[in-house]
């Protein structure tokens, strides 16, 4: 648990208010216990998991179970399970650290996340006392392994359109389930499936199905592009008999479980990407130092330095977003009285509060991951295309992250969708903020005071990007009103602006907090990283805002808006090339990613 208490912030409020650096959680705020947990998890991955990659990629049986059980002995699997059910009952920061470390091997991260995350959390948060007592102690030791089975062949993104049905048996003791769930991680060995079916064909509900219930079975292993060390199969329910006690939550309210659990899943996915990108980047740095062409180590070529610096900046960014968000979630969770009967409801509310941030992290970090594995393959050249080097596998393993836990398209729509909904409900004063910006552009521009403090230019850019977003969103909503949800391109572009703002701000606040604590001279490279991030984001923000405005406005109106946009995005460019060179030089010296 963090030593200092952070202020409770509302989800999404970062768009309209300034956050002070003291109020964000950063990896530098880890306690001694957090650091030890990180070390244990890292050692576990290095000593137990990494040596078995080849066997796992070859689908040798029993290894996933074996590793989960070993991880359970150390307490990694049960970190989130309350103590009275055999878990460690740790804070959100600790479980995030564990998730981060599992990402060192994509297949294991997937297996682990499906078991300890989306497979176990539904029982922790929605289970009855009996359900918890029966399942959690066995899941804590990984004696039983869990899976989460929502998707069907014909309902992926549109999960609520599931065709699986549940009918109460004549004696009222069982629900009889019929249907097939597709792409179910851990299906090869899971004992417990959290699955969904429509009672009487309409009431979407959640069930705990055990592997050996009559009528439950699994299909053959899928042949996948990546994460080949994980198990993915169908779950077949043919007149499966599920005792009525195994209904999870309320009949007809399964969507609450499905969506709330996905928020966790998205966030944890983003967290586990962080160690994957550190690993791949370190491999690439090492290779670039060793590989010589034209009489030089390739790390001494500007084109390669550009790549490595960009990779490092993105790692720092991905990590800053993850820990800032978990800091918010943890603060909200700690304000809840765990002994109150309403605790579960409050916990779910807390998670839902940060659903926007969870989706941002899912999209941003899965794309950062793909960017980095792609550049790593490129740095390896032909050898990157060979199975002899781990980057080839990392490249394939990374790709799934943009698809599962809600595709990035769906998550982009959700980000803007949720924000607009909160604005309409008056939960988040976005409308007022947008109105202020629209008024501001009609008034004379006030002369901005030039500030010369460290990173003040970047802070100004950030503020202006927020204004740009509010301008674009305000204009788009005014134009489309109720039909805005049909404007997917506009909503996705707006989402990109939201993501860029959260990314820039999380990095900036982390570095400002660091400067206050350790002094600017200790953070020279991190400061350069923020500058690169902010100054590269600005033109992208401008370009996307322009596309939105051009799509929703025309004539004089458009001209006024574009003039305002020009004002918001005015900036003297920095020499990003020299900043990247400085970072790359240090990466070369250190031989590894060192920013955090």
Partner 1 sequence: MRILACLKQVPEKDSRYKIDDTATGIREEDLVFETNESDVYALEEALRLKEKLGGEVVVLSLGEERVLKTIKSGLAMGADSALHLTDPAFRGSDAFVIATSIARAISDQNFDVIFTGVQSEDMAFAQTGTILAQLLGWSHATIVMEVNVSEDGKNARVKRELESNLFEVVEIPLPAVLTIQSGINQPRYATLKGIMQAKKKGIRTLSAQDLGLKNSQLGSMGSVVDHQKMFFPEKKKKTVILEGTPEEAARTLMERLHKERCFSRWPSAERNSLCLARFWF
Ligand X SMILES: Cc1cc2nc3c(=O)[nH]c(=O)nc-3n(C[C@H](O)[C@H](O)[C@H](O)COP(=O)(O)OP(=O)(O)OC[C@H]3O[C@@H](n4cnc5c(N)ncnc54)[C@H](O)[C@@H]3O)c2cc1C
Report the catalytic residues.
405
Alpha carbons 268 and 39: distance in angstroms, whole number: 18
Site for ligand X contains 108 (CB under 6 A)? no
Closest Cα to residue 304, out of 315, 292, 314? 292
Pair 362, 267: CB distance under 8 Å: yes
What is the closest distance, in whole angstroms, from the C-beta atom of residue 85 to ligand X in the complex?
23
- According to CB under 6 A, which residues from 181 to 200 bind ligand X? 183-185
For residues 156 and 215, which CB has a smaller minimum distance to ligand X in the complex? Answer: 156
Alpha carbons 208 and 247: distance in angstroms, whole number: 6
Alpha carbons 176 and 166: distance in angstroms, whole number: 5
**285 binding partner (options ligand X, partner 1, none; Cβ < 5 to 8 Å by kind):** none
Applying CB under 6 A, the site for ligand X has a residue count of: 20
Alpha carbons 433 and 528: distance in angstroms, whole number: 31
What is the closest distance, in whole angstroms, from the C-beta atom of residue 519 to partner 1 in the complex?
13
Binding mask 65-104 for ligand X (x = CB under 6 A): ----------------------------------------
What is the closest distance, in whole angstroms, from the C-beta atom of residue 27 to ligand X in the complex?
29
Binding mask 211-240 for ligand X (x = CB under 6 A): -------------x--x----x--------
* Out of 90, 150, 298, 373, the residue judged to bind ligand X by CB under 6 A: 150
Please provide the distance, in angstroms rounded to a whole number, between the alpha carbons at the two ends of the chain. 19
* Out of 157, 338, 340, 575, the residue judged to bind ligand X by CB under 6 A: 157
User: Which of these segments, 57-65, 148-156, 239-247, 477-485, binds ligand X (CB under 6 A)?
Assistant: 148-156
**403 binding partner (options ligand X, partner 1, none; Cβ < 5 to 8 Å by kind):** ligand X
**143 binding partner (options partner 1, ligand X, none; Cβ < 5 to 8 Å by kind):** none
For residues 412 and 510, which CB has a smaller minimum distance to ligand X in the complex? Answer: 412
* Out of 37, 114, 123, 192, the residue judged to bind ligand X by CB under 6 A: 114
* Out of 26, 64, 94, 151, the residue judged to bind ligand X by CB under 6 A: 151
**400 binding partner (options ligand X, partner 1, none; Cβ < 5 to 8 Å by kind):** ligand X
* Other residues' Cβ atoms within 10 Å of the Cβ of residue 265: 22
Alpha carbons 306 and 579: distance in angstroms, whole number: 10
Question: Residue 363: which residues within 8 A CB-CB, separation 6 or more?
Answer: 408, 411, 412, 415, 495, 499
* Out of 89, 137, 156, 417, the residue judged to bind ligand X by CB under 6 A: 156
- The secondary element (H helix, E strand) that includes residue 182 is strand 174-185
What is the closest distance, in whole angstroms, from the C-beta atom of residue 270 to ligand X in the complex?
15
Alpha carbons 211 and 218: distance in angstroms, whole number: 8
What is the closest distance, in whole angstroms, from the C-beta atom of residue 182 to ligand X in the complex?
7
Question: Residue 232: which residues within 8 A CB-CB, separation 6 or more?
Answer: 183, 184, 185, 187, 221, 222, 224
- The secondary element (H helix, E strand) that includes residue 356 is helix 355-380
What is the closest distance, in whole angstroms, from the C-beta atom of residue 227 to ligand X in the complex?
6
* Per-residue b or e along 2-30, where b marks 16 or more CB atoms closer than 10 Å to that residue's CB: beeebeebbbbbbbbeebebebbbbbebb
What is the closest distance, in whole angstroms, from the C-beta atom of residue 261 to partner 1 in the complex?
22
**316 binding partner (options ligand X, partner 1, none; Cβ < 5 to 8 Å by kind):** none
* Other residues' Cβ atoms within 10 Å of the Cβ of residue 131: 18
Question: Residue 225: which residues within 8 A CB-CB, separation 6 or more?
Answer: 396, 399, 400
For residues 37 and 350, which CB has a smaller minimum distance to partner 1 in the complex? Answer: 37
Question: Residue 237 phi/psi, 5° resolution?
Answer: -115, 105
Pair 535, 500: CB distance under 8 Å: no
For residues 273 and 465, which CB has a smaller minimum distance to ligand X in the complex? Answer: 273
- According to CB under 6 A, which residues from 391 to 420 bind ligand X? 400, 403-404, 407, 409-410
Which residues of the shown chain bind partner 1 in the complex (CB under 8 A)?
32-33, 35-37, 39-40, 43-44, 73-76, 78-79, 88, 90, 94, 589-590
Contact residues: ligand X, CB under 6 A: 114, 148-151, 156-157, 183-185, 224, 227, 232, 400, 403-404, 407, 409-410, 488
């Amino acid at each position: 648990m963090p030593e200092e208490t952070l202020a409770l912030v509302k989800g999404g409020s970062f768009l309209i208010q300034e956050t002070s650096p003291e109020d964000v959680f950063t990896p530098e705020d880890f306690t001694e216990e957090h650091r030890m947990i990180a070390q244990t998890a890292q050692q576990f991955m290095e000593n137990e998991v990494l040596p078995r990659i080849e066997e796992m990629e070859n689908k040798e049986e029993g290894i996933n179970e074996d590793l989960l059980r070993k991880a359970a002995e150390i307490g990694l699997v049960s970190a989130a399970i309350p103590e009275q059910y055999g878990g460690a009952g740790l804070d959100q920061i600790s479980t995030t650290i564990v998730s981060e470390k599992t990402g060192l091997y994509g297949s294991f991260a997937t297996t682990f996340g499906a078991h300890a995350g989306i497979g176990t959390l539904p029982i922790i948060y929605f289970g009855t006392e009996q359900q918890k007592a029966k399942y959690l102690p066995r899941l804590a030791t990984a004696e039983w392994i869990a899976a989460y089975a929502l998707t069907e062949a014909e309902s992926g993104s549109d999960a609520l359109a599931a065709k699986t049905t549940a009918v109460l048996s004549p004696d009222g003791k069982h629900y009889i389930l019929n249907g097939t769930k597709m792409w179910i991680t851990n299906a090869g060995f899971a004992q417990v499936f959290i699955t969904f079916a429509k009672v009487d064909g309409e009431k979407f509900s959640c069930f705990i199905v055990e592997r050996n219930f009559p009528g439950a079975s699994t299909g053959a292993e899928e042949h996948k592009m990546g994460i080949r060390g994980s198990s993915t199969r169908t779950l077949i329910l043919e007149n499966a008999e599920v005792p009525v006690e195994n209904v999870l939550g309320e009949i007809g309210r399964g969507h609450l479980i499905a969506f709330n659990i996905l928020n966790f899943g998205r966030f944890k996915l983003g967290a586990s990407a962080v160690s994957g990108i550190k690993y791949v980047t370190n491999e690439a740095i090492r290779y670039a130092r060793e590989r010589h062409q034209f009489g030089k180590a390739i790390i001494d070529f500007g084109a390669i330095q550009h790549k490595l610096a960009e990779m490092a900046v993105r790692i720092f960014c991905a990590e800053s977003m993850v820990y800032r968000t978990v800091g918010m979630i943890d603060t909200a969770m700690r304000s809840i009285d765990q002994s109150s009967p309403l605790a579960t409801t409050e916990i779910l509310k807390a998670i839902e509060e940060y659903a926007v941030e969870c989706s941002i992290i899912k999209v941003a970090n899965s794309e950062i991951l793909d960017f980095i594995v792609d550049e790593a393959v490129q740095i390896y050249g032909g050898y990157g295309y060979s199975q002899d080097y781990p980057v080839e596998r990392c490249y394939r393993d990374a790709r799934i992250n943009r698809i599962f836990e809600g595709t990035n398209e769906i998550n982009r729509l959700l980000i803007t969708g949720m924000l607009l909904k909160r604005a309409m409900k008056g939960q988040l004063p976005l409308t007022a903020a947008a109105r202020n910006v629209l008024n501001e552009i009609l008034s004379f521009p006030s002369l901005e005071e030039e500030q010369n403090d460290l990173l003040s230019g970047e802070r100004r850019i950030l503020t202006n990007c927020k204004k740009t977003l509010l301008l674009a969103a305000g204009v788009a909503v005014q134009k489309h009103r109720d039909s805005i949800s049909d404007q997917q391109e506009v909503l996705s572009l707006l989402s990109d602006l939201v993501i860029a703002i959260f990314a820039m701000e999380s990095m900036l606040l982390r570095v400002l907090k660091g400067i206050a604590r350790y002094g600017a001279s200790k953070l020279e490279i991190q400061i350069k990283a923020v500058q690169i991030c902010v100054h590269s984001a600005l033109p992208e923000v401008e370009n996307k805002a322009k596309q939105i405005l051009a799509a929703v406005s025309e004539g004089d109106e458009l001209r006024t808006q574009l003039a305002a946009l020009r004002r918001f995005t005015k900036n003297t460019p920095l020499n990003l090339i020299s900043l990247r060179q400085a970072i790359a030089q240090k990466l070369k010296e250190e031989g590894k990613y060192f920013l955090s």
